[in-house]
Copies of this chain bind each other. A is one copy, B any other.
Amino acid sequence: MSNLISIKSATLSEDIAQQLMNAIVQGEIPQGSKISEPELAKQYGISRGPLREAIVKLEGLGLVTRTANVGARVIQLNTQDMLDTFSTREALEGMATRLAAANMKADEINSLYALLDKHQAYLDDNQDERYLQQGGNDDFHLRIIHASGNAKLIRLLTEELYAIIRMYRRHTSDQRSDPRQALREHRAILDAIANHEGDLAELLMRRHISRASSLLQQAMEKMTLASS
């Protein structure tokens, strides 16, 4: 029962939107399933008003699809949509990396190098390898995104795309990506940023994301083959 966690936001609608988003990304509400307003309202102990506003918001984030007089359904993950999402991410995050290369100051860059060193330590000691594959990987990307200083890019990437990307990762129960290879690519990207080589930094980031997309694609196609 994840609905016991009350994050206490300013408005009920925001709370519910956040909780619904988590529930969908974590797979607690299975993909493709219908969103029943009376049921959820009773479950969360609220009325349908703020719940509907939350659903409208989730539709804007692309997590659910709505049809008039019928209702909302959680999106159905599939390979084509995943490829589309990663192409979009490649374009946006490539641009973010280019801007970061132009904007980042020395101390920010050093701080990022320190983060990568920490990742290296995790790999060498292979203590908690799960940290790297999940939060740690995203840390690097998120900090570059924010370093771009472009509010539109930040919003689209962190609010619109990353929720869905996390869904895909969780859905494929985290693929057999090579963390050491990823770390090497991160280092190369950061080196380009440190040298303020925007063109190169963008190119490397795009390749990095493109590779991750290919790996995910293979994992997904293996899954659909296994289940058919």
| Chain A residues proximal to chain B, CB less than 8 Å | 10-11, 13-14, 49, 52-53, 56-57, 59-62, 68-69, 81, 84-85, 87-88, 90-92, 94-95, 99, 150-153, 155-156, 160
Contact = CB atoms under 8 A, between A and B. Distances in A.
Given A56-B57, A94-B91, A95-B88, A10 B152 contact: no
B68 A14 contact: yes
Copies, count: 2
A167 to B, nearest CB: 14
A83 to B, nearest CB: 8
A95 B84 contact: no
A68 B11 contact: yes
Contacts of A151: 81, 84
Interface secondary structure of A, over-half rule: helix
Nearest to A13: B56
18 contacts: A13-B56, A49-B49, A53-B56, A57-B60, A59-B60, A60-B60, A60-B61, A62-B152, A81-B152, A84-B151, A84-B153, A85-B152, A87-B150, A90-B95, A91-B94, A91-B153, A156-B156, A156-B160
Given A61-B60, A90-B95, A94-B91, A84 B150 contact: yes
Contacts of A62: 152, 155
Given A84-B153, A87-B152, 6 more contacts: A14-B68, A60-B61, A88-B92, A88-B95, A91-B91, A92-B92
B88 A153 contact: yes
A10 B70 CA distance: 11
A62 to B, nearest CB: 8
A85 B11 CA distance: 29
A84 B149 CA distance: 9
Contacts of A150: 84, 87-88
A98 to B, nearest CB: 9
